[in-house]
Chains A and B, each alone.
Chain A
Amino acid sequence: MSLRGTAVIAGIGQTEYGKLPGRNPLSLNVEACRKALADAGIEKDVVDGLFVKYPTSTFHSMYGQTVAEALGIQPAIGGVWDQGGAANASMIGFAVMAIEAGQCDVALVTFADNPRTGTRQAYQRGWGDDAVYGWFGTPAGYAMIAQRHMQQFGTTSEQLGAIAVACRKHGAANPGAQLRNPITIADHQASRWIVEPLRRDDCCLVSDGGAAAVVMSAERAEELGVADPVPILGFGQGQTSWEVAQRPDLTSTAAAVSASKAFAMAGLGPKDIDIAEIYDCFTITVLLTLEDYGFCAKGEGGKFVEDGALELGGALPLNTAGGLLSETGMPGMQLVLEAVRQIRGTAVTQVPKARTAIVSNQGGIMHTHSTLILGR
């Protein structure tokens, strides 16, 4: 039996994004949850599921219980799910499954982190003994994949730049975005190398921020009088266990598995999708995800993105609030929130007649992937 449309996102909430001195992740979790509950128009007493990812920057044992205590709730089911950046979308899928299995009725899903005012060490560490070679940090893993893609398929830095241009354009239109200056391809090409072939403008922001979503059955949303629930049409996950150095194929990712499960549940395909909120920790991530989701053939991502297809008014408007490259680097869950706003028709950059949105979250160096399809 398909779970298509059985559950909804009933409410969304977020903190400000950017630099939030004096706030810790727990405080950001609470603010985001408070706002999500208010958006759903429900009291916290009905929440009996709590799905949390601990802050990536600072590991905290049993963080799910810490958040529950701060929220003053006693969830029947919940805790921490760690898949790096994929966890947000995955936890929404787990919440739907828990609701369907009768393990909870109303679930809160939340993630917050503050690597901008806190520590960004999690993204800069050496990779085990390979630190001997200077093999450090998250950007290099993505650069390794980008280099192979460029050589294998002729993808260019300018084509990656087109992804950044689209996200920065949409972020500029979003008053809540951390970075609001649009760029051109020339600006992108002039930005310095971080780890070649990735430039500064290929890399997402380092930000503080938190977000939350309330998940419940469509039936329950009606009973509770939720004003604007957005149906969850499909979800899926995929992962590879291989580190970049061991991965048999660097340019195909677990996004393909994840999307095929989500599309099958939704009974939809890429041509049915109106907008895409794709995890853009790096521009290359978007390119690979679009290919693996089937929006274009493997190797043709560069051509697909280069002529404004991803900009508002284009074939597939991408990251309509700016994504990780422009709205905020954390919590990644902002992509889910923007998809909800687009389907509700309340987005700042509202795409006319947007009825379906696909959201990707992913973690590690494309180790973990999670997909959500929302729509009416």
Chain B
Amino acid sequence: MTTRPEPEIDERNREYWAALEEGVLKYQRCLGCGNAWLPIRSECPRCLEANWTMVPSSGRGRLISWVVYHTSYHPYFEDKLPYAVAVVQLEEGPRLIASLVDEPSELRIDQRMVLSVQRDDGRARAAFAVDRDYAR
């Protein structure tokens, strides 16, 4: 079996990936200017200071866009085709690449989504499902 591509975990992003293992999606918040962002970086991209903390997200957000892979670019994903990848914006502001739980035919842009962490081959990753509690 081919091993899945793994993130490069270091001092900066260890807490992010450890939180996902616990079912929590964290993002960075600047203690100086209040900016919130992902992916993990050393300095705030707004005020450029390195004075930040990690905050758990509510897990609610909206669907910016998504694609469905019919081509595999890595052996691990060959038997996963077709699979979807999305851009989701958290209600706190940060955007991220994530997996999707629902069939793509049910999706539309700006739809309300909710975090549903998925775990496979020893790795937790952010996935989102359509937020069915949200009356649209």
Q: Which residues of A contact B (CB under 8 A)?
A: 124-137, 139-140, 143-145, 147-148, 151-152, 192-197, 244-246, 250
Given known contacts A140-B85, A147-B67, A246 and B95 CB-to-CB distance under 8 angstroms: yes
- The 17 listed contacts between A and B (C-beta, < 8 Å) are A125-B73, A126-B74, A129-B13, A131-B5, A133-B97, A134-B69, A136-B69, A136-B74, A136-B77, A139-B71, A148-B64, A148-B65, A151-B65, A152-B109, A193-B71, A196-B67, A196-B82
Query: Count of chain B residues with Cβ under 8 Å from any Cβ of A?
Result: 35
Given known contacts A131-B5, A132-B5, A133-B98, A151 and B108 CB-to-CB distance under 8 angstroms: yes
**Residue contact A196 to B98, C-beta cutoff 8 Å:** no
**Residue contact A126 to B65, C-beta cutoff 8 Å:** no
B39 interface contact, C-beta 8 A: yes
Beyond contacts A196-B67, A197-B67: 15 other A-B pairs, Cβ-Cβ < 8 A, are A126-B73, A126-B74, A130-B39, A130-B97, A132-B125, A134-B73, A134-B77, A134-B80, A135-B85, A144-B67, A148-B64, A195-B68, A196-B69, A250-B65, A250-B87
**Residue contact A195 to B69, C-beta cutoff 8 Å:** yes
**Residue contact A144 to B65, C-beta cutoff 8 Å:** yes
B contact residues around A126 at 8 Å (CB): 5, 73-74
Assembly CA distance A126 to B74 (angstroms): 8
B contact residues around A139 at 8 Å (CB): 71
A-B CB proximity, top 5 nearest: A136-B73, A129-B7, A131-B5, A193-B70, A196-B68
Residue-by-residue, is B105-136 near A (CB-CB < 8 Å gives 1, otherwise 0)?
00011000000000000010110000000000
Assembly CA distance A250 to B109 (angstroms): 12
Residue-by-residue, is B48-70 near A (CB-CB < 8 Å gives 1, otherwise 0)?
00000000000000001111111
A contact residues around B11 at 8 Å (CB): none
B contact residues around A196 at 8 Å (CB): 67-70, 82, 104
Q: How far is the CB of A196 from chain B (nearest CB, A)?
A: 4
Assembly CA distance A152 to B66 (angstroms): 13
Q: How far is the CB of A175 from chain B (nearest CB, A)?
A: 31
B contact residues around A128 at 8 Å (CB): 39
Assembly CA distance A335 to B83 (angstroms): 35
**Residue contact B5 to A137, C-beta cutoff 8 Å:** no
**Residue contact A147 to B85, C-beta cutoff 8 Å:** no
**Residue contact B83 to A134, C-beta cutoff 8 Å:** yes
Assembly CA distance A194 to B126 (angstroms): 24
**Residue contact A134 to B71, C-beta cutoff 8 Å:** no
B contact residues around A250 at 8 Å (CB): 64-65, 87
A contact residues around B14 at 8 Å (CB): none
Assembly CA distance A148 to B67 (angstroms): 10
* Least CB separation from B98: chain A residue: A133
Q: How far is the CB of B30 from chain A (nearest CB, A)?
A: 16
A contact residues around B4 at 8 Å (CB): 132
B8 interface contact, C-beta 8 A: yes
B contact residues around A246 at 8 Å (CB): 95
Per a CB cutoff under 8 Å, which of A124, A136, A137, A151 touches B109? A151
**Residue contact B87 to A245, C-beta cutoff 8 Å:** yes
Assembly CA distance A162 to B63 (angstroms): 28
**Residue contact A194 to B109, C-beta cutoff 8 Å:** no
**Residue contact B65 to A147, C-beta cutoff 8 Å:** yes
Q: How far is the CB of B35 from chain A (nearest CB, A)?
A: 13
Q: How far is the CB of A193 from chain B (nearest CB, A)?
A: 4
Assembly CA distance A272 to B47 (angstroms): 43
* Least CB separation from A248: chain B residue: B95
B22 interface contact, C-beta 8 A: no
**Residue contact A129 to B8, C-beta cutoff 8 Å:** yes
A contact residues around B96 at 8 Å (CB): 245
**Residue contact B95 to A245, C-beta cutoff 8 Å:** yes
Given known contacts A127-B97, A133-B97, A244-B87, A193 and B68 CB-to-CB distance under 8 angstroms: yes
A contact residues around B64 at 8 Å (CB): 148, 250
Assembly CA distance A69 to B71 (angstroms): 41
B contact residues around A151 at 8 Å (CB): 65, 108-109
**Residue contact B74 to A133, C-beta cutoff 8 Å:** no
